Amino acid sequence: MHELSIANSILEAVRKERERLNGARVTKVGVRIGELAGVDPEALSFGFEVLVKDTDFEPLPLAIESVPRRHECSQCRHVFTVVDYRMDCPACGSTDSRCIGGDELELAYLEVEEL
Partner 1 sequence: MSRLPLEQKVLSENDRIAQRLRERFLARGLFCLNFISSPGAGKTSLLERTLERFPTGERVALLTGDIQTDNDAKRLARFGFPVKQITTGGTCHLDARMIERALEDWPLESLDTLLIENVGNLVCPSSYDLGEAAKVVVLSAAEGEDKPLKYPAIFFKAELLILNKTDLLPYVSFDLAQARANALQVHPGMEIVELSCKTGAGFEDWMKWLARRRESAKAGTMLASGQV
| C-beta of 12 vs 58, nearer to partner 1 | 12
| C-beta of 58 vs 106, nearer to partner 1 | 106
- Residue 108 has, within 13 A of its CA and on its CB side, a CA count of 15
CB of 109 to partner 1, least distance (A): 5
| C-beta of 9 vs 55, nearer to partner 1 | 9
CB of 13 to partner 1, least distance (A): 7
Q: H or E segment at 6? A: helix 3-20
Q: Does 31 bind partner 1 (CB under 8 A)?
A: yes
Question: Strand, helix or coil at 63?
Answer: strand
d(CA 101, CA 88): 16
Q: H or E segment at 8? A: helix 3-20
CB of 61 to partner 1, least distance (A): 13
Interface of this chain with partner 1, residues 76 to 95, rule: CB under 8 A: 85, 87
